[in-house]
Amino acid sequence: MSSVESHQEQLSQSDPSPSPNSCSSFELIDMDASSLYEPVSPHWFYCKIIDSKETWIPFNSEDSQQLEEAYDNGKDCNGRVVPTDGGRYDVHLGERMRYAVYWDEPASEVRRCTWFYKGDKDNKYVPYSESFSQVLEETYMLAVTLDEWKKKLESPNREIIILHNPKLMVHYQPVAGSDEWGSTPTEQGRPRTVKRGVENISVDIHGGEPLQIDHLVFVVHGIGPACDLRFRSIVQCVNDFRSVSLNLLQTHFKKAHENHQIGRVEFLPVNWHSPLHSTGVDVDLQRITLPSINRLRHFTNNTILDVFFYNSPTYCQTIVDTVASEMNRIYKLFLQRNPDFKGGVSIAGHSLGSLILFDILTNQKDSLGDIDSKKDSPSVFMDQGDTPTLEEDLKKLQLSEFFSIFEKEKVDKEALALCTDKDLQEMGIPLGPRRKILNYVQTRRNSVGINRPSPQSAAGMNMSNIPKESEHCGDTNETGNDEYLDVGIGQVSVKYPRLTYKPEIFFAFGSPIGMFLTVRGLKRIDPNYKFPTCKGFFNIYHPFDPVAYRIEPMVVPGVEFEPMLIPHHKGRKRMHLELREGLTRMSMDLKNNLLGSLRMAWKSFTRAPYPALQASETVDETEAEPESSSEKPSDVNTDENPVAVKEDMPPIHVGMLNGGQRIDYVLQEKPIESFNEYLFALQSHLCYWESEDTVLLVLKEIYQTQGIFLDQPLQ
């Protein structure tokens, strides 16, 4: 303490007279009120590089308290690790460094902060180093205790800090090129404000996250390393998604939250772009890329080409292996760090990421424990459960007497799938049984129609050996064992890895799944089809999203119906949509009344001139008129106003892909977006990360599996 006092005395001797403003402020301070010294309350911060600038971000209150308790438990903090941010980061207290747990991210510096100064441009407060903050605090303590102010200190960067009084402390930067005599602090430009304690600076400090984790959701990104218009990574976008979910849990699940029935849903990102582009393919592409329009070509190589990589058998194998292995690795690590976790797991994919997950789920097995490496191919999915033999199939068709003929000709189920009507006729099978057998083979093919285009080379995109009309049973291009042949350019079937868990729900955001299935040659998804290991499937999209496609018309191709409208998170439709529907209904009513009046006038002109019939016809027509006027206009305007008709439509069954529930869910566009669809098209594809409506639908469906519902169900 004596060294600090001597240092202060030396500096005070050369301390120039303070400015008039500082003197007046000093004189206005009641020194009796500040004579009692109270130690400063520290708060922990970590440093992030945002837009090439260092930004200090405070830990939430619970994490800061845990770090402070660990700091107080012993001065020797080496080897002490404190989990923060819901367990997604570990702080090594001795190193003062913060490391990500589940993904790769540069380590960030951690600091125990007590004193701050305002930055140059962004006006954000920057913490001093811990050592210099301690010097400032000791100086402040002496000034308060001895009631001696106008203390001056020099920081390690030769910056001058002057403590005029408890409410006026300034920081001067050194001026380059000062003479050998030096310059006084008042001559060094505009001073910067110095604050003591985090409570005196403007910074948002959030509360901690609930310790209880009810559900785990893996989120897979789409093309490119950036996931929104601000060119942020999947980690940052998922952070926004998680923050929105925490807020909605407190507002829309308030009763369950107060009763401690729920905790939170953990969202963890899965990155496959970096491993793909670390294979050396970028170097190969750079050699063949033209030098013109360099930025555009770099953007294309880094983003749009990911779609073509997924169509390549070599890089598609890398992508699916990376996604599946990352989800398995993170899940195993998550269980190690959360041994009391008893919740379920769901998966979500954005854009191309949803297609990757769709293909992986399509090629899973029912039994997770019985995985045969020799049969680890997509064709295994074709036969779910115990496959009946040919004899059992014939017995089911009541054609057991013909089994001896097939046995004599050495025809098994695979060979029967290749037989044509002429082949069966040559074996001596009559017309009726032939038709039954051929119809059964065709039905069996259609029942697995969803997976016939999927297990192709390069993740289901090479259709060279799959007929365009897969419904025809007499196709000779298909091998009996459902294996797809090499087409001569090095393409082989992709081996889809197995997940070590069964996802409960699959959420697709802005997904092109429907388009890719159509391009692969699939015309229809069998209504009885469902994922082998996943029960739920929700296709969520913005109406202006140029990449999104529907799924339900492929399940029910003969019926035209609208997707499910996602309710607004405030419990009602957006005002402009209600106004649009109101105007549509009003125009329909006016049209119905006009048509009814014209019909009545026309019938009055064409009525038969017999007095005996006139009275009876008038009564009959007035009774029948309301029914006719209500039916005919609705038939005419079915296509013009689907919203009004939707209210009277019976529930639509769209198969078992989502357990009998609806699959397609559309967001409500904002009023400003409705003015120009094309202007907001790109933004619509990247809007899901901060969309309260999307997050609320995800939370609602997840917690419904646990018997927990919204406080007020949204209509």
Residue tagged 């099978």 (tokens): 429
Q: Does the pLDDT at position 102 exceed 90?
A: yes
Whole-number pLDDT of residue 599 = 64
Residues 103 and 147 in one domain: yes
Is position 128 within any domain?
Answer: yes
Rounded distance, CA 361 to CA 356, Å? 9
Answer yes or no: is 94 within a domain.
yes
Helix (H, G, I), strand (E, B) or coil at 545: coil
Domain end, chosen from 134, 161, 194, is at: 194
Give the residue from 445, 461, 483 where a domain finishes.
Answer: 445
Q: Please indicate, yes or no, whether residues 429 and 522 belong to a single structural domain of this protein.
A: no
Domain co-membership, 265 together with 309: yes
pLDDT digits (tens, 9 = 90+) for 646-691: 444 567 788 899 998 999 999 998 777 666 777 777 888 889 999 9
Give SS3 for 134.
helix
154 strand-pairing partners: 160
pLDDT at 611: 41
Structure tokens given for 672: 């400003």
Report pTM.
0.69
Determine contact, residues 697/569, Cβ cutoff 8 Å: no
**Is residue 658 one of the residues assigned to a domain?**
yes
Strand order in the sheet with 97-100: 53-58, 43-50, 108-113, 97-100, 89-92, 81-84
Domain assignment present for residue 139? The answer is yes
Range of the domain at 238: 209-364+497-594+651-709
Q: What is the pLDDT of residues 218-271, one digit of tens each?
A: 999 999 888 877 788 999 999 999 999 999 999 999 899 888 899 999 999 999
Q: Give domain status of residue 215, yes or no.
A: yes
DSSP percent split of the chain into helix, strand, coil, nearest 5: 45, 15, 45
Q: Is the pLDDT of residue 6 over 80?
A: no
Query: Does residue 22 lie within any of the structural domains?
Result: no
The SS3 assignment for 45 reads: strand
Q: How far from chain centre, in Å, is Cα 656?
A: 24
Q: How far, in Å, CA of 238 to CA of 227, rounded?
A: 10
Inside any domain, residue 378: no
625-643 pLDDT, tens digit each: 444 333 333 343 434 444 4
pLDDT by residue (tens digit) across 378-434?
Answer: 333 333 334 578 887 888 788 888 888 888 888 887 788 788 888 888 888 888 888
Q: Which of 162, 194, 226 is the last residue of a domain?
A: 194
Do 215 and 316 belong together in one domain? Answer: yes
Is residue 620 classed as helix, strand or coil in its secondary structure? helix
Whether residue 558 is found in the same domain as residue 436: no
Residue 183 token pair = 């310059």
* Rounded Cα–Cα distance for residues 335 and 643 (Å): 46
Contact (CB, 8 A) for 113 and 126:
no
Do 581 and 698 belong to one domain? yes
Tokens, residue 544: 């202006």
- The model's confidence at residue 67, banded by pLDDT at 50, 70 and 90, is very high
Phi, psi of 118 (to 5 degrees): -80, 140
Please state the rounded mean pLDDT for residues 91-112: 94
Active site (catalytic) residues? 351
CA–CA separation, 413 vs 563, rounded Å?
Answer: 40
Q: What is the pLDDT of residue 431?
A: 82
Let me know: does 34 contact 101? Beta carbons within 8 Å: no
pLDDT beyond 80 at 581: no
Query: Same structural domain for residues 91 and 151?
Result: yes
Residue 440 and residue 566 share a domain: no
User: How crowded is residue 472: how many other Cβ atoms within 10 Å of its Cβ?
Assistant: 10
- Percentage of residues in the chain having pLDDT higher than 70: 70
Number of separate domains in the chain: 3
Q: Tell me: do 157 and 282 sit in the same domain.
A: no
Pair (168, 217) in one structural domain: no
pLDDT (tens digit, 9 = 90+) per residue, 495-548?
A: 999 999 999 999 999 999 999 999 988 989 999 999 999 999 999 999 998 999
Q: Is residue 575 part of a domain?
A: yes
Contact between residue 344 and residue 215 where contact means Cβ atoms under 8 Å apart: yes
User: Domain containing 418 — which CATH number?
Assistant: 1.10.150.50
Q: Could you tell me the CATH number of the domain that includes residue 522? A: 3.40.50.1820
Q: What is the pLDDT of residues 293-308, one digit of tens each?
A: 988 988 888 888 889 9
The gap from C-alpha 681 to its chain's centroid, in whole angstroms, comes to: 18
Return d(Cα 45, Cα 204) in angstroms, integer.
12
47 and 113 share a domain?
yes
Decide which of 380 and 342 is more confident: 342
Q: What is the pLDDT of residue 675?
A: 67
* 66 shares its domain with 117: yes
